[in-house]
Structure 1
Amino acid sequence: MRRDQFLKAVAALAAAGALPLTARAATNIKMMIPANPGGGWDLTGRAFGKALLEAKAADTVTYDNKGGAAGALGLAQFVNGSKGDPNALMVMGAVMLGGIITGKPPVSLDKATPIARITSEYNAFVLPANSPFKTMQDVIAQLKKDPGSVKWGGGSRGSTEHVAAAMIAQKVGVDPAKINYVAFRGGGEAVAAILGGNVTVGGSGYSEFAEYITAGKMKPIAVTSEQRLSGVNVPTLKELGIDVVIGNWRGVYGAPGITPEQRKKLTDEVLKALDTPAWKDALQKNDWTPAVLSGPAFEKFVTDEFASLRDIMTKSGMV
């Protein structure tokens, strides 16, 4: 066999995955999680990394947590440190858009490369187990009486639970600018504050509270979905006469400056991972709703979401 024929044969085998890892370039995915451990982005990033490994779309996955400013600190580190890297991914979502609108960070999301939306999740509002309040109606009554006395705890300023709290206030006739919102850099901090009774009511994805609800340490009082969540006996805000529905979607972005070919390859790997048993198990375990959108459709979705969220936040007095 001539040398050129041999090289072509080796290349074909490597492309088909028929050669051992030592005979082809390993794919080492570097996953930026722009939040502290314990929150929704952290859960999503690590579950997705496991799916990438199962799909053989990656040989290794490493994680870098960088919390703060609704993901803006992690975004800045990702953009500045991953330029042109075809194996870099960053978890992001609706929370980051809200943080960018309110915080106006120096590094914008448009510097990175849109890859795909992967999930959507509705928020739950919970009370500490020893709260003097028992229902969302109790919280609303106190909110109307003295807005500042109700401490809403959740993610960073501009998060979906922050927007939801402002929308709730607006719908029940309270000036949303008067809500007392306590922002936390990560889900772990928010959970600790709720368990410690340092906030009146906490908000986040239902999955982040599930184990504490099951253990009787938190009491769920409402969810932000259109209909009750599957297997969860908690009323929607709409059921309670509060016309608020808001979802928290999550997606992944690639590094700045990657080529169209690299972007397509990365997108294909992401979509492949979303079809694995590992990812399907994560969806079921965490009550995440599949919401796959990629390519130009995802890019347009993000642009439209920025406009819609900015409008809601402005009307709610947050911008």
Structure 2
Amino acid sequence: MKLLNIASVLLLASVIAVPALAQDISRPECVAPAKPGGGFDLTCRIAQQGLEKQLKTPMEVTFMPGGIGAVAINLFNTTRTDDPNAIVAFSSGSLLNMAIGKYGQWGAKDVRFLATAGTDYGAVIVKADSPYKTLDDLMAVVEKDPGSVVVGAGGSVGSQDWMKAAILLKSKNVDPRKMRYVAFDGGGDAIAGLLGGSIKVYFGDIGEMVSHLGTGEMRILAVLSDKRLPAPFAEVPTAKELGYDAEWPIVRGYYMGKNVSDEAYNKWVEAFKAAYATDAWAKLVKDKGLLPMDLSGKEMDADMKKRVERMTGIAKDAGLIQ
């Protein structure tokens, strides 16, 4: 009897000793809704590396390209609505797609926004050997003939990346509908298109450029931020300082299925909050080319849904939706 009691006590102690987080999130997964190499990949890598100590279990990154997030949001509203182990990367572009109905019936109300990874900014990028040495060089050509320069990005007409190009052209009263725009399924494909020569200008994100800084393959003409960013982009001018009224901040973060339990959702929130408090997280975010933005849980969910509401209004003004 005593041996049984001792065994019971030891078993109970071992259960208590196992962190609740490790029990509840047994197979952590971050879904990047695009091919490898773009902003969604970057966002998932931040979670994968930044939550390593909090989750106690290696996080898997899976890629789910299709419709710039449409395939992923459909899956998490059909077969994986209550998956406690999976988070999905999103950006401000995803919010815009929700606002203008790019995801069909699925919108902001159909996900549980979880946490932010950081803030990114749009950027105007060319190949290193491009004849456009400055943003003025590029815009001088575009203002004369918008269709003479093939531009592209990881999104269709009306997407976040298209909007980056559109606001830059509109800053000089150029009709964005006249530009030659090529849509790719994610930043990785768009970068490949730029390097391969199928497009001449890539309207991407500054965070995507961190892993390419040492290659010498591309050059950043301008960043679409309100002021210059810290190193390693301190030498990159803003479009604004060059005389173009064009800014595009980008929130990067994660959502979960709308039917995920509060218990599972809160465990992820706890993991992110614990990570936010560490120097390692701050360094990781900086190294990935993002600026800090630490927001999680209900506050973050409400904030993102308000952003979608605002984007819906902007989209209506731009004629993207009725």
TM-score, normalising length: structure 1: 0.87
Work out whether 1:142 is the aligned partner of 2:141: yes
Aligned to 1:164: 164
Kindly report the root-mean-square deviation, in angstroms, between the aligned alpha carbons of the 2 structures: 2.7
Residue in 2 aligned with 1:78?
A: 76
Partner of 2:18: 17
Query: How far apart, in 2, do the equivalents of 1:77 and 1:244 lie?
Result: 35
- Taking the TM superposition and a 5 Å limit, the aligned residue runs for 1:267-278 are 267-276=269-278, 278=280
Partner of residue 184, structure 2: 184
Query: For the structure 1 residues 295 and 88, does the alpha-carbon distance in structure 2 shift closer, same or farther, using more than 3 Å as the test?
Result: same
Give the Cα–Cα distance (whole angstroms) in 1 for the partners of residues 6 and 254 of structure 2. Answer: 39
Match of 2:69, as an amino acid? Answer: G
Could you tell me which amino acid in structure 2 is paired with residue 308 of structure 1? R
Matched with 1:174 is 174
Aligned mates of 1:66, 1:314 — CA distance in 2: 29
The alpha-carbon distance between structure 1 residues 142 and 308, as it changes in their structure 2 partners (threshold 3 A), is farther
Give ranges in structure 1 of 5+ residues lacking alignment: none
Q: 1:213 and 1:5 mapped to 2: Cα distance?
A: 60
Q: Where do 1:88-237 residues align within 5 Å?
A: 88-100=86-98, 101=100, 103-157=102-156, 158-231=158-231, 232=233, 233-237=235-239
- Kept in 2: contact 1:115–1:263 (CA 8 A): yes
Higher mean alpha-carbon deviation, 265-274 vs 118-127, is at: 265-274
Mark the CA change 1:147 to 1:264 in structure 2 (over 3 Å): closer, same or farther: same
Amino acid at match of 1:236: T
User: 1:93 deviation in Å?
Assistant: 1.8
Instruction: Give the drift of 1:202.
Output: 0.8
Letter in 2 for 1:60: P
Unaligned runs of 5+ in 2: none
* 1:14 aligned partner, one-letter code: V
Q: Kindly state the Cα deviation for residue 3 of structure 1 after the two structures are TM-superposed.
A: 7.7
**2:302 & 2:212 partners in 1: Cα distance?**
37
- How many residue pairs match? The answer is 315
User: Does structure 1 retain, via aligned residues, the 8 Å contact 2:124–2:221?
Assistant: yes
Report what 2:64 is aligned to: 66
Q: Which residue of 2 aligns with 1:254?
A: 256
What code does the residue aligned with 1:46 have?
Answer: R
User: How high is the TM-score relative to the length of structure 2?
Assistant: 0.87
Give the Å deviation of 1:88. 1.8
Identity, % of aligned positions: 30
In 1, Cα distance between equivalents of 2:79 and 2:228: 42
Aligned to 1:297: 299
1:117 shift after superposition: 2.0
| Larger displacement relative to structure 2 (98-107 or 149-158) | 98-107
Is 2:194–2:201's contact at 8 Å kept on the other side of the alignment? yes
Q: Distance in 2 between matches of 1:25 and 1:318?
A: 42
Q: 1:257 to 1:153 in 2, by over 3 A?
A: same
Q: Distance in 1 between matches of 2:79 and 2:146?
A: 43
Structure 2 distance, partners of 1:76, 1:254, is 12
Q: Aligned partners of 2:5 and 2:89: how far apart in 1?
A: 42
8 Å contact from structure 1 (residues 33, 91) kept in 2: yes
- The verdict on how the C-alpha distance between 1:26 and 1:65 changes in structure 2, with shifts beyond 3 A counting, is closer
Of stretches 37-46 and 155-164 in structure 1, the one that deviates more from structure 2 is 155-164
Residues 59-106 of structure 1: CA deviation (Å, up to 9, x unaligned): 232222111212111111233232222222111121112223252423
SS of structure 2 residue aligned to 1:261:
helix
Distance 1:247 1:8, change over 3 A: farther
| 1:237/1:31 CA distance change after superposition, 3 Å | same
* DSSP 3-state at the match of 2:28: strand
Q: Deviations over 1:207-254 (max 9, x none)?
A: 322454443321211101111111221110110111122111111112
